[in-house]
Amino acid sequence: MPRSTLDFAYVSPMATLCVENVPDDLYEALRAAAQANRKSISAEVIALLAENIPTSAELARRKEVFARARKIRSRRSTAPGPFPTAEQMQREDRAR
């Protein structure tokens, strides 16, 4: 038997967020953004929160990316690269 939307809402209720004392200019900007995106104000707020507040999964992903970046940065290059080393430049300078 397929589950209805009401069954899902009963099994997994979503949190409700009430915000008081929103400045008029901020509310008007939010309302204008919601209209521009063809969303309700609630849907616009949820979209803004999702864009700007990282979830625990997003934070874990970021930590992994930073750990990989640290690991890559910590590797020493086997070749001196296209530029002479500091030691080579000092020797050349002394030889003048």
10-residue mean pLDDT series, the chain (96 residues): 56 82 96 96 94 94 96 78 84 89
Residue 49 lies in a domain: yes
Residue 30 lies in a domain: yes
Determine the pLDDT at residue 2: 55
Residue 39 lies in a domain: yes
Residue 50 lies in a domain: yes
Range of the domain at 58: 21-73
Residue 54 lies in a domain: yes
Determine the pLDDT at residue 15: 87
Determine the pLDDT at residue 27: 96
Determine the pLDDT at residue 14: 82
Model-wide pTM > 0.75? no
Determine the pLDDT at residue 74: 86
Residue 38 lies in a domain: yes
Kindly give, in sequence order, each residue whose CB lies less than 8 Å from that of residue 62, ignoring residues fewer than 6 positions away: 54
* Structural domain total, the chain: 1
Amino acid residing at 52: N
CA–CA distance from 73 to each of 62, 76, 86 (Å)? 16, 8, 20
Determine the pLDDT at residue 24: 96
**Which alpha helices (H) appear in the chain, and where do they start and end?**
5-11, 24-36, 41-52, 56-74, 86-95
- CA distance from start to end of the chain: 90
Residue 3 lies in a domain: no
